[in-house]
């Protein structure tokens, strides 16, 4: 599964009602409506030719809701097995950070130490700079 390729069609190619269904599933994940969100998200994933990008978004949404378990189940294996899965590593790091798991830093450090993907490296730097700015404010 290649997260950098995303879904097979841009979001604008989906009917409005379908995009709304995606939004409901992701918002349900954020607001901890686990059972309902699970039903919607599973239905959406089953209809996508490549659900990788949606799973990435879902991982981050669930992290926002305080639950990084989905990211661990769906991104951890890819991040550990594929040295070049930098997008998955950064999504995993963000989800872990938002979910309160201290292991997030390992993935950011991994991207900074090993990645040649400039977008992933920039995302890692931006995340660290953002967190540093928050620390200065407190």
Averaged confidence pLDDT in the chain: 88
CA dist 19 and 12 (Å) reads 8
In a domain, 122, yes or no: yes
In a domain, 55, yes or no: yes
pLDDT, position 32:
81
pTM of the complete model = 0.81
Band the pLDDT of 1: cuts 50, 70, 90. Answer: very low
In a domain, 4, yes or no: no
In a domain, 70, yes or no: yes
Is there a contact between 98 and 64 (Cβ–Cβ < 8 Å)? yes
In a domain, 1, yes or no: no
pLDDT, position 5:
43
Q: Work out the number of other CB atoms within 10 angstroms of the CB of residue 54.
A: 20
Residue-wise pLDDT for 13-27, tens only, equals 778 888 899 999 999
In a domain, 26, yes or no: yes
In a domain, 66, yes or no: yes
Domain containing residue 132: 11-137
Instruction: Retrieve residue 90's tokens.
Output: 């950064």
CA dist 75 and 59 (Å) reads 8
Mean pLDDT of 129-138: 88
CA dist 51 and 74 (Å) reads 11
Residue-wise pLDDT for 73-111, tens only, equals 989 988 988 888 999 999 999 999 999 999 999 999 999
In a domain, 2, yes or no: no
Number of domains observed in the structure of the chain: 1
Alpha carbon separation from 134 to 100, 125, 128 (Å, rounded):
16, 14, 10
Band the pLDDT of 2: cuts 50, 70, 90. Answer: very low
């Amino acid at each position: 599964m290649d997260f950098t390729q995303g879904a097979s069609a841009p979001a604008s190619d989906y009917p409005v009602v379908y995009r709304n269904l995606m939004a409901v599933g992701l918002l349900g994940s954020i607001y901890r409506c686990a059972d309902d969100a699970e039903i919607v998200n599973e239905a959406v994933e089953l209809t996508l030719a490549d659900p990788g990008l949606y799973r990435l978004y879902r991982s981050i949404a669930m992290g926002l809701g305080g639950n990084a378990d989905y990211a661990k189940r769906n991104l951890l294996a890819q991040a550990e097995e594929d040295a070049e899965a930098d997008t998955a590593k950064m999504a995993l790091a963000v989800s872990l950070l938002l979910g309160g798991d201290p292991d997030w830093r390992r993935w950011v450090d991994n991207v900074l130490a090993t990645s040649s993907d400039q977008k992933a490296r920039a995302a890692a730097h931006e995340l660290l700079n953002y967190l540093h700015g928050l620390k200065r404010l407190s």
